[in-house]
Amino acid sequence: MNDFAYELCMAIFNNDRFFRNLSEFDDYLYYVVKKEGYEAGYTLKLITPFISAVGQLEVVEKLLNNVIFIPDAKKAADRILKFCRVVVVSTAPKKFVEETAKILGFREIYASELEILELDDETRANLLDKVDIIASLNKEELYRVLEEIFSRLWDKIEKIRVIGAKEKAEIMESYNPKFPIAIGDSITDCKMFEKARELNGLAIAFNGNRYAIEKADYAIVSSTALSEAVVIEKIFSGKKLEIEPRLGKIFKISESNMEKVVKESMKMRVKLRGSAGTLG
């Protein structure tokens, strides 16, 4: 359940609003500016210069020791692996994904590279000075300041290998799956969801936010990973997709129930993940 980028920012800068504003700028670049080559979910690229300015990679090691799984994750993983091949595709840094996936028994992994950029002393000092300023800004002023900061860094940032929305969809397609089942929860999963449906598979939002639910066939709202396992088992056995109330709820998404599902899903998302659950 960890949001690695958020937790990394909090561990280093202890500034919730700073991360939220970078995440908002990520949405702005993708949806409004439509910056060439930029994908939804590249927030890690935006964070990297600031992390590089501090240079505290030891924080990553500490986060690896603070992994939080949704209840019954290992039991669910064992059941799912009996029915299908699992490929983990994540925007989080590779080392973090490898460690968590290994615990669950997942072996095929694609994840982002966390790279420390080489920055001169003046650039490092300037970036660190801007953290609290960025946290204090809103909308147009925020976008203006961040565009100015990143205008001098794009050459470095663009080389960082991050798994975003496009990459997730491409990785899924590269497997040439006969019946892909995509499970995700955020904006970075939207193109993967679209690709799964295009390939005659299914897209399932698990405690997803609005972005994910709007692109999904089904939405699961649950406090236990066993709900995912039950749904996967029923898909492969051809049974009706339903789960016991004690495991949560599953919805077939439609225009008529969209708002209800988003509301229930976001409530569960925040209950399980706290402040990070409100992010895109």
**Domains of the chain (ranges plus CATH)?**
1-69+114-163 (1.10.3870.10), 165-280 (3.40.50.1000)
Distance CA 233, CA 18 (A): 41
pLDDT in tens, 209-254: 999 999 999 999 999 999 999 999 999 999 999 999 999 999 999 9
Can you give the pLDDT at residue 9?
84
Distance CA 193, CA 196 (A): 5
Cβ burial, residue 245 (10 Å; 0-12/13-18/19+): exposed
Phi, psi of 156 (to 5 degrees): -75, -45
| Whole-number percent of the chain with pLDDT over 70 | 94
Ranges of beta strands (E only) in the chain are 87-93, 108-112, 181-184, 202-206, 218-221, 249-252
Residue of 157, 69, 56 whose CA lies nearest to 113: 157
Query: CA dist 160 to 19, 141, 154, 197, 270, Å?
Result: 19, 26, 10, 29, 30
Can you give the pLDDT at residue 268?
96
pLDDT in tens, 169-200: 999 999 999 999 999 999 999 999 999 999 99
Can you give the pLDDT at residue 18?
96
CA dihedral 51, 55, 58, 61 (to 10 degrees): 30
Q: Which residues contact 132 (CB under 8 A, 6 or more apart)?
A: 15, 18
In this predicted structure, the answer to whether residue 11 has a pLDDT above a threshold of 90 is no
- DSSP string for residues in 121-134: HHHHHHHHHHHHHH
pLDDT in tens, 13-70: 989 999 999 999 999 999 999 999 999 889 999 999 999 998 766 666 676 667 789 9
